[in-house]
Amino acid sequence: MKQTGYAYALGAGTIINAIATWKGVAFGIDLRTEAEVTLTDSEKIKGYIEGGGDTALIEHCVRFTLQHFGCDCGANVATKSEIPIASGLKSSSAAANAAVLATLDALGEKLDTLEAVKIGVQAALEVKVTITGAFDDACASMLGGFVITDNKRKELIKRVERDSEVLILAPDKKVFSSGTNVAHSRLIAPWVEMAYTEALSGNYEKAMTLNGFLYCAALGFSTEPMMAALEAGIEGVSLSGTGPAYTALGNPEQLDRLERVWGRMGGKVIRTKVNNTGGKTCR
C-alpha cells in the first residue's frame, strides 16, 4: 500500500445548467485543484484547505473511497486550488474528484473513471453543496472536454474534445449552489430543454448563450457581461453554473476585445483554455 497519493482535477464552465431539467452540459477548463492524501493508523479523516474553508466534502470523498475498498484506516487530506470558490466554476467538483483520485493513488488502487466520479457526487450530495449532484460538472472536471449528461440517472450521454480559449469574469461576491432559487429555475425548463437540444446537435455556443440569458433572468443576474461578449463577436457566453461568474468561448482576437471590457466591470478576469485531458494522479 502506498502511503501518500497526489492528484488534480479541473474546474469547468457551463453550457447547460442542469437544475431546470436534470440534464446538463459542461466543459473542462485549464484551472486545477490539487489534492494530497496521506493514509494514517488513526480512524479519523482530517481535511485541510489552503486558504481556509469547509473540509467536509473532501473528508467525505476520502471516507467513501476508503470504504469502497474496505479499508478502515484514517487519512489526512489537503487541497489547494486555482479555481475561484463559490463562483460557478465547479470548485466543489474539482475538489471532490481530486480527493478521490489522490485516495486511489495512496491506496495503489484503480477504479473506473465514472465510478470515481460517482463517489464525489455522492459526497457532494451528502454534505449538501449541490442540488442535482452536479454529475455534469463532475464529469467535465474529471474527463475534460465537453460532456453531456443525465444527472438524475448519473449517465454520461456524450463526450467530445474541442479546442477553444476561455475567458472568465469572476465577480468578488460568492454564490453557493445550495442557496439557488430552484423554483425559478424550474419555471424556465421548457426553454432550457430547447438549449439542451442544440447542445445535443453540437451547437454548443448557441446552447450556452441561450442558457446564459435564461438563467440570468431566473436567478437575477445581470446580462451586461453577456451583451458585451456578443458585441465582441463571441457566440458562446453564459452565466457559469448558478453564478456569479461568466464564461466565454472564442478566438484570441475576440477574447482580447472582451477582456478589455470585462476588466472594467469589477472582479477578476481569467484567461485560460478548454482542457481535454481531465484529472490525473501526479508525482
| CA trace torsion 158, 164, 165, 171 (10° rounding) | -30
pLDDT by residue, tens only, the chain of 283 residues: 569 999 999 999 999 999 999 999 999 999 999 999 999 998 899 999 999 889 999 999 999 999 999 998 999 999 999 999 878 899 999 999 999 999 999 999 999 999 999 999 999 999 988 877 799 999 999 999 999 999 999 999 999 999 999 999 998 876 665 556 778 888 999 999 999 999 999 999 999 999 999 999 999 999 999 999 999 999 999 999 988 999 999 999 999 999 999 999 988 999 999 999 999 998 6
Instruction: Give the pLDDT confidence score for residue 11 in this predicted structure.
Output: 97
Q: What is the DSSP letter of 130?
A: -
Q: In the structure grid, which three cell numbers stand for residue 88, read together?
A: 460557478
CA–CA distances in Å: residue 114 to residues 39, 49, 71: 24, 25, 21
Backbone angles phi, psi at 179, to 5 degrees: -95, 10
Sheet harboring 236-239: ordered strands across?
Answer: 236-239, 246-250, 165-170, 268-273
Instruction: Give the pLDDT confidence score for residue 175 in this predicted structure.
Output: 65
Question: Which residues fall within 8 angstroms of residue 176, CB to CB, at 6 or more apart?
Answer: 86, 129
pTM of the full structure: 0.95
The domains found in the chain, sorted by start residue, are 1-283 (3.30.230.120)
Instruction: Give the pLDDT confidence score for residue 178 in this predicted structure.
Output: 54
> Do 73 and 7 contact (CB within 8 A), yes or no?
no
Instruction: Give the pLDDT confidence score for residue 1 in this predicted structure.
Output: 52
| CA trace torsion 19, 25, 31, 37 (10° rounding) | 70
